Amino acid sequence: MNPATIEALNRASSQELFHLSLVIERLMSDPKRVLAIRMRLHLGQTVRYVDCRQVGAGLSLRTGRVVAMKDAQVIVQDDQSRTEWKLPYAAIEMPEGDSASPITTANEAPPRPTRDDFRVGEKVSFEDRYLQTQVGTIVRINQRTASVDCNDQNWRVSFGFLRHIVDL
């Protein structure tokens, strides 16, 4: 953050700072922003995230792996300490070439997975209609969908919604 911004924040009243924190919190938890970040993440992915323990020391980024994705938070396991951190999606650094803002969209969408990208027995993940991440094994490849066996339920999922899982 630049020094002029910090100086302006130091001059603000407590009420103004509180109002600003409410606006920032609302923007960070905006479903459009969260979804824009979640669409670029998958379980097992290596990401860089803001280390919340060192707030005063500037922007400190650490690396870790995504182990779970919830509605408003992502759980990342730190590469060095193996500690799991529950973080807001806004704390995740977007991969290179991606935009952090959902308002700007890329000219070219990444290619959608097709039937040829998946095999029976592979572990995959997808998000159900309630945006809950489901993890399972492909048991059958259909014409337009894959039959996925999750622990408690079977799903038929379009190939475009499936993501490969990397076992570590």
Residue at which a domain ends, from 76, 91, 106 = 91
Whether 48 and 37 have beta carbons less than 8 Å apart is answered as no
Tens digit of pLDDT for each residue in 39-75? 888 888 889 988 776 655 566 788 999 888 887 888 9
Residues 119 and 47 in one domain: no
CATH number of the structural domain spanning residue 28? 2.30.30
The rounded mean pLDDT for the chain is: 82
Q: Which segments of the chain does DSSP mark as H helices, in order?
A: 3-11, 14-28, 31-38
Q: What is the mean pLDDT of residues 150-158?
A: 91
Residues 16 and 53 in one domain: yes
In 3-state terms, what secondary structure has residue 45? coil
Residues 10 and 48 in one domain: yes
Q: In a 10 Å sphere around its CB, with 0-12 CB exposed, 13-18 middle and 19+ buried, how is residue 123 labelled?
A: middle
- Is 40 domain-assigned? yes
**Count of structural domains within the chain:** 2
Residues 17 and 79 in one domain: yes
Residues 85 and 119 in one domain: no
- Is 102 domain-assigned? no
User: What is the rounded CA–CA span in Å between residue 97 and residue 92?
Assistant: 14
Nearest 5°: the CA angle 28, 33, 35 is 125
Query: Is it the case that residue 105 has pLDDT exceeding 60?
Result: no
Q: Tokens 């002029």 — which residue?
A: 4
Residues 14 and 75 in one domain: yes
pLDDT of residue 146: 95
Domain range for 124 is: 115-164
Residues 13 and 54 in one domain: yes
CA quadruple 128, 108, 30, 10: dihedral sign: positive
Residues 84 and 11 in one domain: yes
CA nearest 44: which of 71, 67, 77?
Answer: 67
For residue 104, name the pLDDT band (cuts at 50, 70, 90).
very low
Tens digit of pLDDT for each residue in 3-39? 888 888 888 888 888 888 888 888 887 888 888 888 8
Does this model's pTM top 0.85? My answer is no
pLDDT of residue 103: 40
CATH number of the structural domain spanning residue 130? 2.30.30.140
What are φ and ψ of residue 113, in 5° steps?
-60, 145
- Is 104 domain-assigned? no
